[in-house]
Copies of this chain bind each other. A is one copy, B any other.
Amino acid sequence: MAVRDSDPTGLHRVLDDAVVLPQAAQRLDTRRDLLPDEVRIRVQRLNLDAASYRQLERTHTGPDGTVDTDAIRAAVLEIVASRGKMQNPETGSGGMLVGTVEEVGPESPLGLAVGDRVATLVSLTLTPLVIEDGLAGWDGAGEQVPCDGYAVLFGRSIVAVLPDDLDPALSLSVMDVCGAPALTARVVTGYDAPTVAVIGGGGKSGSLSLAAARAAGAGRTIGVVPHEREAELLRRAALADEVVVADARHPVGLRDAVAAAGGPADVTVVCVDVPGCEGGAILATAERGTVVFFSMATSFSAAALGAEGLAADVTMLVGNGYVPGHAAYALELLRAEPGVRRLFEGRLAAEVDA
C-alpha cells in the first residue's frame, strides 16, 4: 500500500517495503487517479534506452542469429506489468516517452495544460506506466515503441513541450542530450573567454556543447574526434575553431593534441562514451580549469585518483543531466546553428536508413 501523502519525488507511489526512491523501487503504484501535484500523460511512444534494447535483443537471439521480436515485445510487456515502470532489470536503464497531457492535478508545478504534446526528460525507470494496447503496433524491432497507455508525472518530474516548428524526432534527439550544453554554458561563463575542448565534439552532446561554449563566450573552441571521417563532418559544421583527431584513451596523446590546437583547455567537456578517458581529460586541462564528465562510462575513482596522482588542480564535475531550462536552450542552439542542425538531421537520416 502506497503512502498517500504526496511527495515531489514520487515516493508516495513506491510499493516496496523499504523506503526507496522510485528509481530504486522494485514496483510502482500505477493507479489512474492523480494526487494534487501529479500529471497524467496519454502515451504515444516509448523510446527504450539503447543499452536496454540491446540487452533484450541479445537475450532473444537464437543460435542461428534470428532475433525473436515477439519475445522482445513480450519481455517489455512483462517488465512493465510487473514493475509498474519500464526498467530493464539487467541494465537498470529505461528510456523516455512521448505523449499528450491528459489530466493536470490542481497543484502541479510543471506548468502543463491538457492537450500539450510532451516528452518526459526523466527516465522511464521512475515513471509509473500502464500499457493498454499490448504493444500491438510494435514489431519488437528497434528502440522506438508505438504504444497506447498512460504514465504519471510527479511534482519534480522533468518534461518538455515539443515545439511546433521542429520534427518531433529531431526535438527528441536534441532533448535526449540537452543537459550537456546547458551545463557547459554555465561553466564557460565562469571563466573569461576560456579555451574550451570538447572530447567527442562530433557527437550529439558534443556538437551541442561546442555550440553552447561559443554562445557562452568561449575564446577558442577545440573539438576532439576519434578519426578523420568525423573530423571532416565537424569541420563542415563549423562549430569549433580547431578540430583535432586523437584517441581520448591515451592521456599523453590527448594532452599533446589539445596543446597543439591552442590548449591546455580552461574547460574540458568529456562527451565520449568509452571508458578510460579520465586521465587524458585531466592532463588536457589547465591548472584551475574545469573538467565536465558527461560520459556514463566515467569512473569516479579513476577521475579522483588520476587528478591526485597528476597533482592536477582541476575542478571535476559530474555532468548533471538537469539544468533548469535545458531543453529550451538546446533547441535554441539547434535553431541558431545550422551546423548543429545538419549534424542532427544527418544522424536521424542514417538511423532511418539503417
Residues in chain A within 8 A of chain B (CB atoms): 7, 9, 11, 19-24, 121-123, 125-126, 156-158, 179, 250-253, 279, 283, 293, 296, 298-301, 303-324
In the assembled complex, which residues on chain B have CB atoms less than 8 Å from the CB atom of A317?
315-318
Which of B24, B125, B293 lies in contact with A318, CB distance below 8 A? B293
Query: In the complex, A311 Cα to B306 Cα: how many Å?
Result: 30
Query: In the complex, A342 Cα to B161 Cα: how many Å?
Result: 57
Query: In the complex, A123 Cα to B156 Cα: how many Å?
Result: 42
Instruction: Report the minimal beta-carbon distance from A107 to chain B, rounded to whole angstroms.
Output: 16
Query: In the complex, A253 Cα to B309 Cα: how many Å?
Result: 36
Query: In the complex, A311 Cα to B122 Cα: how many Å?
Result: 8
Whether A304 touches B310, Cβ cut-off 8 Å, given contacts A250-B19, A252-B21, A317-B315, is no
Query: In the complex, A321 Cα to B301 Cα: how many Å?
Result: 11
Q: A21-B310, A304-B321, A316-B318 are in contact. List 18 more A-B contacts (CB 8 A).
A: A19-B252, A22-B309, A23-B279, A123-B308, A123-B309, A156-B310, A158-B308, A158-B311, A293-B318, A299-B300, A300-B303, A304-B318, A305-B321, A310-B322, A312-B320, A313-B322, A313-B324, A316-B317
In the assembled complex, which residues on chain B have CB atoms less than 8 Å from the CB atom of A250?
19-20
Instruction: Report the minimal beta-carbon distance from A264 to chain B, rounded to whole angstroms.
Output: 13
A313 close to B323 (CB less than 8 A): yes
Q: Which 10 pairs of residues, A with B, have the shortest CB-CB distance? A: A308-B321, A316-B318, A307-B320, A300-B300, A156-B311, A308-B322, A298-B300, A303-B318, A158-B311, A23-B309
In the assembled complex, which residues on chain B have CB atoms less than 8 Å from the CB atom of A126?
309
B309 close to A125 (CB less than 8 A): yes
Query: In the complex, A133 Cα to B158 Cα: how many Å?
Result: 62
A301 close to B308 (CB less than 8 A): no
In the assembled complex, which residues on chain B have CB atoms less than 8 Å from the CB atom of A121?
308
In the assembled complex, which residues on chain B have CB atoms less than 8 Å from the CB atom of A7?
252
B308 close to A315 (CB less than 8 A): no
A293 close to B300 (CB less than 8 A): yes
B300 close to A9 (CB less than 8 A): no
In the assembled complex, which residues on chain B have CB atoms less than 8 Å from the CB atom of A296?
300-301, 304
Taking CB as reference atom, which chain B residue is nearest A93?
B305
Q: Which of A11, A179, A310, A316 has the most CB of B within 10 A?
A: A310
A308 close to B179 (CB less than 8 A): yes
In the assembled complex, which residues on chain B have CB atoms less than 8 Å from the CB atom of A20?
250-251
Taking CB as reference atom, which chain B residue is nearest A24?
B279
Q: Which of A309, A319, A324 has the most CB of B within 10 A?
A: A309
In the assembled complex, which residues on chain B have CB atoms less than 8 Å from the CB atom of A308?
121-123, 158, 179, 320-322
Query: In the complex, A23 Cα to B250 Cα: how many Å?
Result: 13
In the assembled complex, which residues on chain B have CB atoms less than 8 Å from the CB atom of A306?
21, 23
In the assembled complex, which residues on chain B have CB atoms less than 8 Å from the CB atom of A299?
300
In the assembled complex, which residues on chain B have CB atoms less than 8 Å from the CB atom of A298?
300
Taking CB as reference atom, which chain B residue is nearest A299?
B300
Query: In the complex, A295 Cα to B289 Cα: how many Å?
Result: 22
Query: In the complex, A351 Cα to B104 Cα: how many Å?
Result: 59
Q: Which of A9, A157, A283, A299 has the most CB of B within 10 A?
A: A9
In the assembled complex, which residues on chain B have CB atoms less than 8 Å from the CB atom of A279?
21, 23-24
| 8 A–B pairs (Cβ distance < 8 Å), ordered by A | A20-B250, A21-B279, A157-B311, A179-B308, A298-B300, A313-B322, A314-B320, A315-B320
Taking CB as reference atom, which chain B residue is nearest A11?
B252
